[in-house]
Amino acid sequence: MSLSVDLRFAPAPWLACLLFITIGYPAGAEEIRFDRDVRPILSDKCFFCHGPDTENRQAGYRLDLESDAKADCIVPGDPESSELIARIVSDDVDMLMPPPHSHKQLSSREIEVLTKWVQQGAAWSRHWSFVPPQRSKVDNTNTGPQTKWGRGRIDDLVLAKMIAAGGQGSAEANREKLLRRVSFDLTGLPPSIQHIDDFVGDPSPGAFERVVDRLLQSDHFGERMAMMWMDAARYGDTSVYHADGPRDMWAWRDAVVDAYNANMPFDQFSSFQLAGDLIDDLPLEQKILAGFNRNNGTTDEGGAIAEEYRVEYAVDRVKTTATVWLGLTMECAQCHDHKYDPISQKEYYQFYSFFNVSSDGGMQTRKGNAEPKVDIADPAKQAQLPAAEKQLAESEAKMKQHQSDHTDEFAAWLTAAESKVDDKTESPTGLVVDFRLDEGKSRSVVDSVDAKRKGKIEGKPLWVDARDSQGLEFNGKNYVDLGDLADFEHSDAFSFGGWVKPSKSGHGALLARMDDGNDFRGFDLLCSADRIEFHMINTWPSNALKVTVKPGLAADQWQHLYATYDGSAKPEGIKIYVDGKQRQWKVEQDSLTKTIRTKKSLLIGSRHPGSRLHGLVDEISIYDHALSESEVNRLSGASVINELLAIARDKRTPEQSESLRQHYFETHDDSFIAIRATADSQRTRIAKLREPMTSVMLMGDMQKPRETYVLNRGAYDTPTDKKVSAGTLAVLPPMSDDLPRNRLGLAKWLFQDDHPLTARVAVNRYWQMLFGRGLVSTAEDFGAQGDYPSHPQLLDELAVDFRESGWNIKQLIKRIVLSATYRQSAKALPDQYRSDPQNILLSRGPRFRLPGEMIRDNALFVSGLLVDQSGGPGVKPYQPAGLWAEVGLGGNPKFVQDHGKKLYRRSLYTYWKRSAPPPAMQIFDAPTREKCTLQRARTNTPLQALVTLNDVQFVEAARHFAQRVLQSEAKEDTQRIEYAFRSATARVPSPGEVKVLLNVLHTAKSRYSSDTAAAANLVGLGESPRDESIAAETLAAWTIVTSSILNLDETLVRE
């Protein structure tokens, strides 16, 4: 509907209403500000139809642009002539705006604001958050008792706001509460009694600052800060979609903790998070921070469309990046122009283009990490590597020296051997599997090494005449299952192969223990006329060894095919022999660092389930070491050594002479063989030491960037012909010309001096962390639909200071917590609470329930159970039975609880399955982390009490807390209650509180002294051992007392 109306024909009721509104404003009334008072109303009630979105704009009218609005429906200074005012006060439903069916009716106050604004001249201004922050002066002329209340610039700005509202600040919180507050805020843990005593007993002026410095230097600071960042980064230990299978990103989490502890500047931290993969020569511990935008959910569902999910990943990265650094709901422009903020759909896809060139695919994996990724070495193993490499070098030097020292012995053997060229070389030792395939009629085959081991022929048994006796024909449908044999690791040396007569067509496995369905994990030897392939795979193709020999085998001829491997995890350790002669290979993959073990069985003629062989097979064998060339010759019957001995010495090539020399030392010199065995063992150890501890998925761009087009309605399969290139939003400062148009350039653009959002958004999150509410309450939305800052001058002051400090996070936080504003008592007077229930004026200290992680960590800390160990894979403490059953495929994978110290690690390190997060965390409003979250909900429900009263983690903590109390120096019940109360709340209980808890103790003692079975049941909960010297009924009674203390509002709340 058009806004057009001729005011000459406006009905009398409208004039009367307008006359009432305009006359009703006193001459000295407060000036209406467009950005603070007017824009929020227009954005909420009008922009949907008359805002930036061209596609849905009604009647061609815009209220988001000054020129359009004043040209069409606003006459500055004249509400009676302004069509906007006529429409919002009309009693004609056909004229009334917003129309009744929109359910966005204006309140009387909103109508008053709009009318007064037009009357005052309809002054326009840019949206506050798009104007670069600047410091402002505060004219605090108050001469009352509050003039000495503040401690600096923060307090001046807060006090000015309080005075203007007729309020005043509160006194400083007592030292116990202040210390508990700042300890939780900066480390996520409560203070110890020793820390309480030290602070309370230190009357010097700098006592609190010294406390703050100690907490900022604590390693627990990084853990506390990482908890907030993990919500924003949507961190989890699983992949989200479909089966929500495991992934390994915990090294990224640990790098975040380390970065905060090192006080990495926020601009550098952000650049590494967004584009660390694009920065040359960046140390690994910083490069892995580029896993930030690989924390998004991924899928490998069989029916999924890869391109659909690839686009979904890019969309998620746009949303997350815009939310975390810009505080904008940019995702609203994916399908059309943003309805409230000046973000066009074209600009959205320009921003999207930064992420549309990422090289990770739409179909990823539920079984670990997908490329691109980087391996993370185990520091403990790395420390052992130099010594191990030195030992190997010494062994290799010994072998060379031994050969040099025993040339006479070799010469004597050579002379003797040349006179007996018809002698046979000895058979190799170390045979572990040997299937001769001579059975002829059976459906099973027998291992000649161990007759109890039998292989089963799957499919039709096709026995044929072979080289000397019987053999098997493989037709692409049958194979032999040898069971659980050859369970080798990539660090094990082994050799395997046999005789094969391949058909003219077809390419298949001679021997394989490989699971095609698990990223081809295992090993195999494939052959055909075209090529021979040897694979050792953890995850194809990212963690694998592959060498290829071309051409392959001759068709319809018996040939001896054998592979040897020395356990080095390197292609140089692989040798392929055909009829006893080594063939040259080409390296196809060289990235094997992890296990190749699989639960699948060893097969002749197939992998699980593919690569079926076409041809005849005979005499399959496996050895537990890497055979020498002469040993393979012996198996093939080629008698290469005899052939070389038959050549006159002066006719032999240097290579032939060296072969004879190596043959002697490897098969006849026992001392050399022993040294070589030691070297082989050392190579195996080095390969194991080089195994990575874990890996981290990183962002990575395609070598040839993908072109980006605007997607019609945001759908992946309906691109328009509007091609765009990477760019930022027109409403914000342009990228400097010298910046690359990639994610690194984007990261640097965010920290340009003239950027209005980045510093404000970051500072607001830190303020929210410390006060429970940001200066902008909508931390994720600084746009038109977001809230106006409660203290805009303070927000800008902190933003400018943050930027000018070099983006120093610890300095910013220290400045805030040292302020009088932060240090106020949280006690609210009745009038104070009635006038400002949400404490928007900051006239008292912040008070709110602790996050779920801190509630659990607090219970573990005061009980003495908390394990102070940082980093490492996610742990799985107590959880309800069958926790993952409903969200898994066929109930798998199943939750398997950890034991020992892992039950008592900090909650930051709890394994996070995003389709079924830990219930004790979720009940306290922890997000699933499937999507970016900047602000957690904060609820209080009866279910939360059921957790802290009955969850085995909390009952065990209460029991251990009780044991700690009984083992303390306090000997009287009153002293013990005071000790327990102070441990949990940081303060001494009042006499009345002690009396109540003594009654609880006496009641519990009476109950458990008459029911020892119930006492034993209570103190038996949890896996931590109890002090058997304490009677079960006594420990149970005190467990009830400590559980009561742990469930106090004062314990669960930070104030």
Is-cis flag, bond preceding 893, omega within 30? Answer: yes
Percentage of the chain beyond pLDDT 70 is 95
Which whole number is the average pLDDT over 433-450? Answer: 90
Alpha-carbon span 923 to 625, nearest angstrom: 56
CA distances from 748 to 1, 160, 421 (A): 45, 36, 76
- Closest to 701 measured CA to CA, from 751, 750, 748, 745: 745
Percentage of the chain beyond pLDDT 90 is 76
Q: Give the pLDDT of residue 426.
A: 67
Is 444 within 8 Å of 428 (Cβ atoms)?
no
Q: Give the pLDDT of residue 499.
A: 95
Q: Give the pLDDT of residue 360.
A: 94
Q: Give the pLDDT of residue 23.
A: 36
How do residues 282-314 score in pLDDT, each as one tens digit? 999 999 999 999 999 999 888 899 999 999 999
Domain ranges of the chain: 7-125, 128-171+756-845, 218-370+693-742, 382-406+676-691, 407-425+639-668, 427-638, 850-1055
**Which tokens hold the place of 512?**
């394989």
Pairing of strands 470-475, 581-583: unpaired
Alpha-carbon span 312 to 264, nearest angstrom: 31
Asked whether the CA dihedral 496, 501, 507, 509 is positive or negative, the reply is negative
Is-cis flag, bond preceding 11, omega within 30? Answer: no
Which whole number is the average pLDDT over 183-210? Answer: 97
> Of the ranges 64-73, 732-741, 804-813, which one carries the lowest mean pLDDT score?
64-73
Alpha-carbon span 457 to 444, nearest angstrom: 6
Asked if the model's pLDDT at residue 141 lies above 60, the reply is no
Ordered DSSP codes for 1016-1053 = HHHHT-SSS---TTS-HHHHHHHHHHHHHHHTSHHHHE
**DSSP helix, strand, coil percent of the chain (3-state; round to 5):** 45, 15, 45
Q: Does the domain formed by 427-638 have CATH 2.40.50.140? A: no
Q: Which amino acid is at 684?
A: T
Asked if the model's pLDDT at residue 919 lies above 60, the reply is yes
Q: At what angle do helices 175-187 and 219-232 cross, to 10 degrees?
A: 60
How do residues 129-138 score in pLDDT, each as one tens digit? 999 999 987 6
> Of the ranges 8-22, 237-251, 258-272, 698-712, which one carries the lowest mean pLDDT score?
8-22
Is 830 within 8 Å of 150 (Cβ atoms)?
no
> Residues 1035, 1036, 1042, 1043: what is their CA dihedral angle, to the nearest 10 degrees?
150
Asked if the model's pLDDT at residue 723 lies above 80, the reply is yes
Ordered DSSP codes for 312-374 = HHHHHHHHHHIIIII---GGGGSSSS-SSSS--HHHHHHHHHHHHTB-S-SB--SSS--SSEE
Alpha-carbon span 1038 to 961, nearest angstrom: 9
Q: Give the pLDDT of residue 72.
A: 85
Is 743 within 8 Å of 275 (Cβ atoms)?
yes
Q: Return the H-helix or E-strand segment holding 72.
A: helix 66-72
How do residues 830-849 score in pLDDT, each as one tens digit? 888 899 999 999 999 999 99
Q: To which residue do tokens 């404490």 refer?
A: 839
Q: Return the H-helix or E-strand segment holding 587.
A: strand 586-590
- Average pLDDT value over all residues in the chain: 92
Q: To which residue do tokens 């004219």 refer?
A: 139
Kindly indicate the confidence band of residue 647, based on its pLDDT and cuts at 50, 70 and 90: confident
Residues pairing with 238 in the sheet: 246
Asked if the model's pLDDT at residue 629 lies above 80, the reply is yes
Which of helix, strand or coil describes residue 581? strand
Q: Give the pLDDT of residue 640.
A: 63
Asked whether the CA dihedral 807, 808, 813, 815 is positive or negative, the reply is negative
Which whole number is the average pLDDT over 686-711? Answer: 94
Which of helix, strand or coil describes residue 586? strand
Asked if the model's pLDDT at residue 624 lies above 60, the reply is yes
Q: Give the pLDDT of residue 727.
A: 97
Ramachandran angles phi, psi of 630, nearest 5° = -65, -35
Is 248 within 8 Å of 695 (Cβ atoms)?
yes
Q: Which amino acid is at 690?
A: R
How do residues 338-367 score in pLDDT, each as one tens digit? 988 999 999 999 999 999 999 999 998 877
Q: Give the pLDDT of residue 9.
A: 32
Asked if the model's pLDDT at residue 538 lies above 50, the reply is yes
Q: Please state, as a whole number, how many other Cβ atoms lie within 10 Å of the Cβ of residue 970.
A: 15
Ordered DSSP codes for 486-553 = ----TTS-EEEEEEEEE-SS--EEEEEEEEGGGTTEEEEEEE-SS-EEEEEEEETTTEEEEEEESS-P
pTM assigned to the model: 0.82
Kindly indicate the confidence band of residue 13, based on its pLDDT and cuts at 50, 70 and 90: very low
Alpha-carbon span 260 to 294, nearest angstrom: 20
Q: At what angle do helices 207-217 and 809-817 cross, to 10 degrees?
A: 150
Q: Which amino acid is at 194?
A: Q
Alpha-carbon span 343 to 723, nearest angstrom: 17
How do residues 881-903 score in pLDDT, each as one tens digit? 889 988 888 778 889 999 999 99
Q: At what angle do helices 991-1009 and 1032-1046 cross, to 10 degrees?
A: 140
- The DSSP letter of residue 13 is H
Asked if the model's pLDDT at residue 159 lies above 80, the reply is yes
How do residues 1017-1031 score in pLDDT, each as one tens digit? 999 999 999 999 999
How do residues 306-337 score in pLDDT, each as one tens digit? 999 999 999 999 999 999 999 999 999 999 99
- The DSSP letter of residue 130 is G
**Which tokens hold the place of 473?**
């024909």
Q: Give the pLDDT of residue 16.
A: 39
Alpha-carbon span 233 to 877, nearest angstrom: 23
Q: Give the pLDDT of residue 411.
A: 94
Asked if the model's pLDDT at residue 939 lies above 50, the reply is yes
Is-cis flag, bond preceding 99, omega within 30? Answer: no
> Residues 712, 714, 719, 720: what is their CA dihedral angle, to the nearest 10 degrees?
30
Q: Return the H-helix or E-strand segment holding 709.
A: strand 708-711
The long-range contacts involving 710-718, CB below 8 angstroms and separated by at least 24 positions, are: 710/345, 710/346, 710/349, 711/311, 711/334, 711/349, 713/335, 713/336, 714/315, 714/334, 714/335, 716/305, 716/307, 716/308, 716/310, 716/311, 716/312, 717/307, 717/308
Pairing of strands 719-724, 848-849: unpaired
Kindly indicate the confidence band of residue 20, based on its pLDDT and cuts at 50, 70 and 90: very low
**Which tokens hold the place of 396?**
């290799």
